[in-house]
Structure 1
Amino acid sequence: MKKIYRLGLLLGLLVLAGCQANDAIGSGTFEGTGDGKHGDIKVEVTVKDKQIDGIKVVKHSENEVLAEPVYDELQETIVETNSPEVDVVTGSTATSDGYIAAVKDAIKKSGITLVASSKKNKKEPKEEAEQSYDVVVVGSGGAGFSAAIEAKEAGKSVILIEKMPAVGGNTLISGAEMNVPNNWVQKKLGIKGDSPEIMAADTLKGGDNVGDPEMVKVMTDKALEAAEWLRDDIKVSFIEDQLFQFGGHSYKRALIPEGHTGAEVIKKFRKKAEELKIPIKLNTTATDLIQDKEGKVTGIKATNREDQSISYMAKDGVVLTTGGFGSNVEMRKKYNSKMDESYMSTVTEGSTGDGIVMAEKIGAGLTNMESIQTYPVCNIETGVISLLADTRFDGAILINQEGLRFVEELERRDVISNAILKQTGGYTYQLWNDDINDISKTMEAHEGEYDELVKQKLIVKADTLEEAADFFDIDVKQLKATVEKVNQYAKDGEDKEFNHRGGLVSLEKGPYYIEKAAPSVHHTMGGLIINEKTEVLKEDGTVISGLYAAGELTGVIHGSNRLGGNAITDIIVFGRIAGQEVGGK
């Protein structure tokens, strides 16, 4: 016993001596790990003379476009203050927390006591209080980039304003699948019979015929042209042999970007904007629209990161592409009391309805504001949409705690969400196997999300249904009976219970995956009234001169419920139109 005690004491003294040695040296490079939004963030922290000299991210699974400015900003602040005790970056809390935790872990392992920083905090250079351009675009998601690029290519001077620390908006964090009738992948796969008219009919029916038929027609007629523009001009890579069929659609028509996320789209947009030398102002919040004596919109007032007030004047017009209000709980409750704090949200923290509020202040008309959509399959702890669960579009089934199916898996989002909330606990389980994985390819595309769900114990992989059911305490007898029915329906080509429009896939062979999920607020269908030129209208139908809008802050396209894959079509088609109109094409 004395030997063990002495050995432990010796090891403790060696560790202490090592820490003291490091502290005495005060220099070195040390590795640390923190828990980010999508898994571990590993960093190397270099310390020189007890001062943090640099931080290098060596491994992470975060969204690259979102994470890059977060890492840059936090590194700058930590190095300047010589301390990891810093505030998170707005809009990227989980990634910031993981990065900061990783730095703290590295410093702790170093055994070095950091000294007070002798460096002076850098201040951003002041901007001119008034700046003039031909076109000002507010919001840097898919609609904003589309508008800015089209206006720039029309020969206009353009600036893009973004209140968040990174570009991309909800486009970036979405799957970014885009519904396009008669697309090139349909032709390659031998899918015939689709048309803009059929997609328009699906869209109107899916929104309970609340959407404007003429605006829906514009979207579906121009969908192929917009997709080809993304492919050929913006250089977005789409998967060449796979399509999704979202709920409410008559055909598989949704193009899928490489990587199954909006990162591919936004990275290519950003690269194109850089080539065209379009300035992008991050951390800059638009607060008010500026009008001349005749009521024409001639610019915006904004506040930057340094709390400096700036007027960005627009000779030809302002384009609002600021998105919806899914993250603004008070605004949600104002228009639909059911969408209260009990719902989490899939969207970015920046989705607070700013553009809608600014335009309403100057008399813009609003429509359909009560229509707020939930996405049915989301992380029950964070509210984040589950892109891993896109297996649902290729045969995965939804079951309840009792092991029973309760809805057609390709129904409208609102129908599925409402059905889930009526089940035991208000949640669902999604079940699939490797045969479905091979079709869907979402597992390989979203490894970070899978690892996160495993850590949260919200997904299980098992060789048998019994093992999978036991993990979540699902009624195994009922589950096996449900799967037997599904296997028979897959064999017969007919779903006798729920009429699955895409065709079920056999679940006879494992391994199996079961994911637990629940609905989150996902899209606000209401917003500004616009016409076919994307001009913003007053309640009486007259045009507000100089003001254009595209994307989720408009309210005339999707009706009471947006069909999956239609958002990207909407924002690219109408974003391009806005840029062309303000650009004078």
Structure 2
Amino acid sequence: MVVMGNLSMGENFKEGTYLGSANGYKGEIKVEVKLSKDKIEDIKVISNTDTPIISDAPVNIIPKKVLQTQGLGVDVVAGATGTSRGVIAAINNAIKFSGYKTDLRRVKETKEKFTDKVVEHKDDVVVIGAGGAGLIAAIEAKLNGANVTVIEKMAFPGGNTLISGAEYAAPENWVQKKEGLKDSKDQFFNDTMKGGDNESNPNLVRVLADNALDGAVWLKDYVNVVFEDRQMFFGGHSVKRSLVPNGASGVEVIGKLMAKAKELGIPVYLEMNAVELITEGNRVVGVKALTPTETHNFMGKNGVIIASGGFGSNIEMRKKHDPRMDEKILSTNTTGITGDGIVMGEKVGAATTDMEFIQTYPVCDPENGALLYTGDVRLAGSAILVNKEGKRFVEELDRRDVISFAITKQTGGVGYLFWDQAQLDKTEVAVHHKGEYEALLRRGILVKADTIDEAAKHFGIDAKELKTTVEKYNEYAKNGKDLEFNKRGGLVAFTEGPYYILKNTPAIHHTMGGLVIDSKGRVLDKNGNPIEGLFAAGEVTGDIHGKNRLGSNAITDITVFGKISGENAAKNLQKVN
């Protein structure tokens, strides 16, 4: 029998099975806890609405630790703090319902001691990082005949790809053709070069542009990633070309990549922290990695692929290259994105480039820095950004860095994204990102109101000026031209309420700098020569996006160069020319 409610107090548990619930990162978490007289016998998480894959880690790990220690003073899972705390709180609430009065959160878990044990692994290729770039590289290496192992320092795979919208920029794609949109590889090349202020290596951008569509088709047809029958128009692009994965979430991409890796027999070691590249002479032959109790040497006779991401969560590294990006600036990145691969590469002589170019994303949570996918209504072309004074101040589809900088100059360093019910329905962001949407309403960062006056009052915005701004915008939509900011894309007039306003601020999103690579994915030294046995792909590399990455180019980047590095690492003993 499942028991709910407050029972009589006592020093021992009251035997039975109890339900408890608490808020996680995005939604409610429910658990079922079975108690005997003197022991927590079993814990089951029966409901969890937080982000899949990330939340899977604490859902699996936290109950095991609680059962092991018989207490709730367990550490949260790094990168999944919100879900971890939600699971712990739900367990605590279930035990409280039993009538138990002692605070079990005071009981701390005991740590296993580190030993001198060294575990040896032998493969053809070792991949550092189980994010999108790493998994793609591993799959491609396997398809080219190599035995591959992937190591990941976090308790879950996915990296920044997992928490992204995972939109994919591809010229001449199948949705464009269906919609009758003209595009070309050259146009994509030019947009990317221009978007990075021509600071990119044109040879790498050419590779990106020429292979973008093939990469998207590979994800769709081989990896089985489901793309929706629509596109998005990201700032800086000259045409709508960004494919949208199912649910507009990186969960679709990482979930399918992990399934394909499993199908191919590629082991993925989690909580395996790479700390050093192993070399013999001038050749990289493996990786030294640590767990809480052991050292592991992963040897790769063909080579090592670094796909560990950028350094958006490493405050000291950020400040070293751009002092403005200090602890006051929040980050959209997972906590594991700390530049480890860049540091390891530098220690074996790798060159770096563009390290000073750090991008912020304009529409982020003002409290925790998380990228707000509810704000993707902006990309549909009709939402407007206003300030506390109720006025627009930037083109809403300009480059991310331009919009971010404009927001920082407004009152309080925040912006307010305004839209109506028709646009919410059209974009379906409340459906695709239901958990986030509901959490934002609950926290008051997003307001829904029947009138503009009521919505503006929630944030103290000048309602009279906001209504004037809306009237102006509607006139622009009627005439087909934005006379203030020349907004690209279609202009759609606002209609009836309810109306929505989302408070937002910029947060660090992407680091454009990293290891220097060539068109084969080989890491180069300071003299421009390949370091034998060392490859890289994804945000750990530099020279592809220049000063500023265009939205949806990251997934194109990790796919194109993930495939290239994987193929060439697999063939490395035959020499890459």
Fold shared by both chains (TM-score > 0.5): yes
Which residue pairs with 2:266 in the alignment?
278
The correspondence for 1:256, drawn from 229, 244, 249, is 244
Are the equivalent residues in 1 in contact too, given 2:13–2:39 (CA < 8 A)? no
Are the equivalent residues in 1 in contact too, given 2:118–2:295 (CA < 8 A)? no
Are the equivalent residues in 1 in contact too, given 2:20–2:93 (CA < 8 A)? yes
Q: Which amino acid aligns with 1:26?
A: K
Which residue pairs with 2:133 in the alignment?
143
Are the equivalent residues in 2 in contact too, given 1:51–1:115 (CA < 8 A)? no
Partners of 1:62 and 1:40 in 2: how far apart? 8
Deviates more, 1:164-173 or 1:63-72: 63-72
Are the equivalent residues in 1 in contact too, given 2:516–2:541 (CA < 8 A)? yes
Q: Which amino acid aligns with 1:419?
A: A
Match runs of 1:270-419 below 5 Å: 270-293=258-281, 295-306=282-293, 308-394=294-380, 395-419=382-406
The correspondence for 1:58, drawn from 46, 50, 62, is 46
The correspondence for 1:451, drawn from 438, 445, 458, is 438
Partners of 1:123 and 1:228 in 2: how far apart? 47
Q: Deviations over 1:537-557 (max 9, x none)?
A: 011101100000000010110
The alignment status of 1:186 with 2:173, answered yes or no, reads no
Which residue pairs with 1:465 in the alignment?
452
The alignment status of 1:34 with 2:22, answered yes or no, reads yes
Q: What's the CA shift for 1:190?
A: 2.1
Identity, in percent, stands at 50
Partners of 2:504 and 2:344 in 1: how far apart? 36
Match runs of 1:78-93 below 5 Å: 78-93=66-81
Partners of 2:323 and 2:527 in 1: how far apart? 27
Are the equivalent residues in 2 in contact too, given 1:335–1:369 (CA < 8 A)? yes
The alignment status of 1:216 with 2:202, answered yes or no, reads no
The correspondence for 2:123, drawn from 126, 130, 133, is 133
Deviates more, 1:501-510 or 1:564-573: 501-510
Are the equivalent residues in 2 in contact too, given 1:301–1:310 (CA < 8 A)? yes
Closer/same/farther in 2, CA of residues 381 and 518 from structure 1, 3 Å limit: same
Which residue pairs with 2:83 in the alignment?
95
Q: What's the CA shift for 1:48?
A: 2.6
Q: What's the CA shift for 1:126?
A: 10
Q: Which amino acid aligns with 1:464?
A: T
SS of the residue corresponding to residue 31 of structure 2 reads strand
Are the equivalent residues in 1 in contact too, given 2:285–2:303 (CA < 8 A)? yes
Closer/same/farther in 2, CA of residues 190 and 246 from structure 1, 3 Å limit: same
Deviates more, 1:320-329 or 1:120-129: 120-129
Q: What's the CA shift for 1:50?
A: 3.0
Which residue pairs with 1:228 in the alignment?
217
Are the equivalent residues in 1 in contact too, given 2:514–2:540 (CA < 8 A)? yes
SS of the residue corresponding to residue 53 of structure 2 reads helix
Partners of 2:395 and 2:567 in 1: how far apart? 41
Deviates more, 1:442-451 or 1:562-571: 442-451
The alignment status of 1:199 with 2:185, answered yes or no, reads no
Q: What's the CA shift for 1:416?
A: 0.3
Q: Which amino acid aligns with 2:338?
A: T
Number of matched pairs? 564
Partners of 2:115 and 2:246 in 1: how far apart? 38
SS of the residue corresponding to residue 350 of structure 2 reads coil
Q: What's the CA shift for 1:434?
A: 2.0
Partners of 1:55 and 1:546 in 2: how far apart? 46
Deviates more, 1:344-353 or 1:57-66: 57-66
Are the equivalent residues in 2 in contact too, given 1:44–1:55 (CA < 8 A)? yes
Are the equivalent residues in 2 in contact too, given 1:80–1:120 (CA < 8 A)? no
Q: What 5-or-longer segments of structure 1 have no aligned partner?
A: 1-14
Deviates more, 1:72-81 or 1:447-456: 447-456
The alignment status of 1:499 with 2:486, answered yes or no, reads yes
Q: What's the CA shift for 1:144?
A: 0.3
Deviates more, 1:534-543 or 1:23-32: 23-32
Are the equivalent residues in 2 in contact too, given 1:343–1:520 (CA < 8 A)? yes
The correspondence for 2:472, drawn from 485, 498, 503, is 485
Are the equivalent residues in 2 in contact too, given 1:82–1:115 (CA < 8 A)? no
Are the equivalent residues in 1 in contact too, given 2:284–2:532 (CA < 8 A)? yes
Partners of 1:551 and 1:122 in 2: how far apart? 34
Which residue pairs with 1:3 in the alignment?
none
Partners of 1:85 and 1:390 in 2: how far apart? 38
Q: Deviations over 1:45-66 (max 9, x none)?
A: 1213332222222222211101
Partners of 2:461 and 2:309 in 1: how far apart? 39
Which residue pairs with 2:575 in the alignment?
none
Partners of 2:570 and 2:258 in 1: how far apart? 20
The alignment status of 1:166 with 2:156, answered yes or no, reads yes
Q: Deviations over 1:41-94 (max 9, x none)?
A: 221112133322222222222111011121111111101111122111122112
Are the equivalent residues in 2 in contact too, given 1:495–1:503 (CA < 8 A)? no
Partners of 1:373 and 1:165 in 2: how far apart? 26
SS of the residue corresponding to residue 348 of structure 1 reads coil
Partners of 1:249 and 1:525 in 2: how far apart? 18
Closer/same/farther in 2, CA of residues 61 and 370 from structure 1, 3 Å limit: same
Which residue pairs with 1:529 in the alignment?
516
The TM-score normalised by the length of structure 2 is 0.94
The correspondence for 2:429, drawn from 435, 442, 445, is 442
Closer/same/farther in 2, CA of residues 533 and 472 from structure 1, 3 Å limit: same
Q: What's the CA shift for 1:128?
A: 5.7
Q: What's the CA shift for 1:508?
A: 2.4
Are the equivalent residues in 2 in contact too, given 1:371–1:559 (CA < 8 A)? yes
Partners of 1:445 and 1:124 in 2: how far apart? 44
Partners of 1:122 and 1:549 in 2: how far apart? 33
Q: What's the CA shift for 1:121?
A: 9.7
Are the equivalent residues in 2 in contact too, given 1:50–1:115 (CA < 8 A)? no
SS of the residue corresponding to residue 64 of structure 1 reads coil
Closer/same/farther in 2, CA of residues 25 and 522 from structure 1, 3 Å limit: closer
Deviates more, 1:396-405 or 1:445-454: 445-454
Are the equivalent residues in 1 in contact too, given 2:199–2:546 (CA < 8 A)? yes
Q: Deviations over 1:321-353 (max 9, x none)?
A: 000000000000001111111100000000100
Q: Which amino acid aligns with 1:39?
A: G
Q: Which amino acid aligns with 2:168?
A: M
Q: What's the CA shift for 1:39?
A: 2.3
Match runs of 1:96-115 below 5 Å: 96-112=84-100
Q: What's the CA shift for 1:33?
A: 1.9
Q: What's the CA shift for 1:493?
A: 1.2
The correspondence for 1:549, drawn from 536, 542, 547, is 536
The TM-score normalised by the length of structure 1 is 0.93
Are the equivalent residues in 2 in contact too, given 1:29–1:47 (CA < 8 A)? yes
Are the equivalent residues in 2 in contact too, given 1:51–1:114 (CA < 8 A)? no
Q: Deviations over 1:181-239 (max 9, x none)?
A: 11111112222x21111111111111100001110110111011000110011000000
Closer/same/farther in 2, CA of residues 440 and 292 from structure 1, 3 Å limit: same
Partners of 1:26 and 1:280 in 2: how far apart? 42
SS of the residue corresponding to residue 90 of structure 2 reads helix
Are the equivalent residues in 2 in contact too, given 1:179–1:566 (CA < 8 A)? yes
Are the equivalent residues in 2 in contact too, given 1:50–1:113 (CA < 8 A)? no
Q: What's the CA shift for 1:97?
A: 1.0
Closer/same/farther in 2, CA of residues 404 and 582 from structure 1, 3 Å limit: same
SS of the residue corresponding to residue 246 of structure 1 reads coil
Partners of 2:110 and 2:233 in 1: how far apart? 55
Q: What 5-or-longer segments of structure 2 have no aligned partner?
A: 573-577
Q: Which amino acid aligns with 1:495?
A: D
